[in-house]
A and B are shown apart, each in its own frame.
Chain A
């Protein structure tokens, strides 16, 4: 048990991300820090933002964000400051520059195209001829006409 307790002390790491000592006294400023943090990625983690991560680099970034805020930066300036140093990889929400336009426009463009296609299809369906009360296909009706020697309609 003693050895296990030693082990416990040895490998214990912070249990959660934002620790009490990081939190700013000014609640408004802290709320802004949170908002910014949610948009910044922990660079060594797998898809976690720095607010959710227990990694030490995430902690450094959280402190950096708060430092900049206290220094009077706006939210955009803080984000820009971090992106300048770590690259656009840290942005959870990719910007709309260059090829990223494809990413952002893919959904709306696809929707417009699909809606257009659907309207064309629906128009076709609404003006199509009923296959007839009996539900026979054109070939079947032609066959009946052939067999009975009359016109099918």
Chain B
């Protein structure tokens, strides 16, 4: 019964979405305010209806209603409650429900908080947003209905893929989708602006918070996924350049470019058509990601293996929205008159290069991701494009980005003298080189990767600190510190986010350059040495979890006779899915992680043990979180809190924000 109500709510939402697409759009063209005014209540209603459908589906998972097909295929009565709930989006149908829920949530939020928007723009935005809703609701209703019943309900379900039964992964998809779909707002604003043929600072002030929010969510989502891969897959890899990972990384790069170029539109009314194009591409790449994951065109570790019919449907959505928007762009981009004038050396030009590096690197990732497909279709070659390609082809752009960033962030608008900007950065540069030399001297392996990564990381962090310092103006120290608290949040956001990027650089290069690995057969109570740490199996025993069986080892780790921890790596088997998983045990540390995996019992009574020392591993995710924090700080800047689009009075308060 509840499932049927959910299904009904979804169909009603589809109807409301169609109305919301057509009526406000016509209203905006004809200038009929009554027709335009329908958009806001329709957006709220659409959200409530999809919310009801989503709640109905969640209820079915929570009570283990095995008369629903998705529940049978993806749940089990013995599964812990957290994973019953996360199982809702741990499958194709449910994850599309989450996707649509977020599309309608963002639409409703634009309706709720958009009272300051010009009515025509608002009507157009909500209409475009609702068109996206129509497309995906149709996709769910016609190809992936989660409310299908089975004729003979089984006694129990087939369980969720054990790899997905994990707290890190339970929250990974919601964050990612908030990010992907958040970009749909930027897209809707871009298309609405193209329809009206008008882009100004107020428009950019509206688009930027949505992009920033989407980017923050994507950052957290990607970091969660990477962290999960690190501790769950059993050998501590954090990024695989897998098609599905790339699918989330491409929109992230575009969103990063977009949120920088939107600043230029907001502050200087330049780069307008480019910003519109970026907004279209950012969401376009979100759709491409959805297509790659769900069509089965490119196989991947975590693609939902799916039938071509769905792939064709998503390809159509992709073609209609991206193709339509790009056609509109081609027709209207010429009308966007740039106003800002600026010199070759200026913050504007630095942001142009930021955009080029981010956009080109994203397209490199895209080409690498689809190349196996292209090569097979057009050149009859079956080949692979893996991590080594991406490391070689993508990294140079990031190195260039890191080198330019601290200088670009400190350039003034309009016109700059390079010498005056570079001078305060000299200490940061000296510090970075000193870090390089120090790291070079103390590393035991002779790699260039570690020292260079630390050089760039230190340059970014010290550059951000210099940036902050320069914001405090001149005068006595006490005055300067007094100004610290009064700096606009946007300034804090920029400094914190750039610091986070530096931390990520150090984490990635440190981990990749200096990881130590040890594989051996170890017996109980026979200690062995791994890079100065003493590791010993104390005991291995069998245990039983709620829906799995487990081999657990107690492994002591000590250094110089001092006990550090008893780690308990596990090897689990989930009988329902007949699937083994490794649960690595990790001793987290600031400088290094100690990562232990237990393997099979050997014939001589020992166990295979794999031990890693992973230097700076946590810096990767800490850096990502710092970046996201920077985004949040920027998002809470006063100019977004006061009614957006309001007059730009605070520009006169001296220090220009951002």
Contacts and interface: CB of A to CB of B under 8 A. Distances in A.
25 contacts: A4-B549, A5-B542, A8-B575, A12-B580, A15-B599, A16-B608, A19-B599, A23-B519, A41-B384, A47-B299, A47-B386, A93-B385, A93-B386, A93-B388, A94-B383, A99-B378, A100-B375, A103-B385, A107-B361, A107-B393, A122-B349, A125-B270, A126-B343, A128-B341, A130-B341
A91 interface: yes
B364 interface: yes
Contact of A47 (B234, B243, B363, B371): B243
B342 interface: yes
Nearest to B240: A47
Contacts of B544: 1, 4
Nearest to A34: B517
A118 B383 contact: no
Interface stretch (B99-107, B170-178, B352-360): B352-360
Given A107-B397, A130-B341, 7 more contacts: A15-B582, A47-B300, A48-B240, A89-B382, A99-B378, A125-B348, A129-B341
A2 to B, nearest CB: 12
Contacts of B243: 47
B359 A114 contact: yes
A14 B367 CA distance: 35
A99 B372 CA distance: 11
Contacts of A137: 337, 339
B32 interface: no
B471 interface: no
Contacts of B234: 15-16
A135 B580 contact: no
Contact of A41 (B299, B386, B597, B598): B386
A144 B237 CA distance: 65
A93 B389 contact: yes
B521 interface: yes
A111 B358 CA distance: 10
Nearest to B580: A13
The number of chain A residues touching the other chain, given as a range, is 35 or more
Contacts, number: 175
Interface in B574-598: 575, 578-580, 582, 597-598
Nearest to A38: B388
Contacts of A88: 381-383
- Chain B contact surface mostly: mixed
A52 B610 CA distance: 13
B549 A49 contact: no
A14 B599 contact: yes
For B337, B375, B386, B397, the residue with the greatest tally of chain A CB atoms inside 10 Å of its CB is: B386
B392 interface: yes
Contacts of A41: 384, 386
A106 B362 CA distance: 12
B384 A118 contact: no
Interface string B534-546: 0000000010100
A13 B571 CA distance: 10
A65 interface: no
B150 interface: no
Contacts of B385: 92-94, 103
A133 B337 CA distance: 17
A52 B229 CA distance: 12
Interface string A37-71: 01101000011110010000000000000000000
B340 interface: yes
A149 interface: no
A106 B367 contact: yes
A123 interface: yes
B340 A125 contact: yes
A147 interface: no
- In order of increasing CB-CB distance, the 10 nearest A-B pairs are A92-B386, A93-B388, A107-B364, A99-B379, A15-B599, A114-B356, A20-B521, A89-B382, A111-B360, A41-B384
Contact of B341 (A8, A98, A104, A125): A125
Contacts of B597: 15-16
Contacts of A90: 384
A12 B242 contact: no
A110 interface: yes
Nearest to B353: A118
Contacts of B430: none
Given A46-B299, A92-B388, A103-B368, A15 B381 contact: no
B389 A15 contact: no
A130 to B, nearest CB: 5
B338 interface: yes
A47 B371 CA distance: 13
For A46, A52, A90, A115, the residue with the greatest tally of chain B CB atoms inside 10 Å of its CB is: A46
For B357, B359, B387, B542, the residue with the greatest tally of chain A CB atoms inside 10 Å of its CB is: B387
Interface in A92-146: 92-94, 98-100, 103-104, 106-107, 110-111, 114-115, 118, 121-123, 125-126, 128-131, 135, 137
B356 A16 contact: no
A29 interface: no
Contacts of B160: none
B304 interface: no
Given A8-B549, A99-B378, A115-B356, A15 B348 contact: no
A82 interface: no
B573 interface: yes
A62 to B, nearest CB: 12
Nearest to B573: A8
B483 interface: no
A47 B301 contact: yes
Interface string A1-35: 10011011001111111111101000000000000
B235 interface: yes
Contacts of A52: 233, 235, 237
Contact of A110 (B270, B353, B363, B389): B363
B341 A126 contact: yes
Nearest to A130: B341
A13 B381 CA distance: 33
A122 to B, nearest CB: 5
B384 A92 contact: yes
Contacts of B542: 5
For A48, A87, A126, A128, the residue with the greatest tally of chain B CB atoms inside 10 Å of its CB is: A126
Contacts of A7: 573, 575
Contacts of B608: 15-16, 19-20
B349 A15 contact: no
Contacts of B270: 125
Contacts of B529: none
B442 interface: no
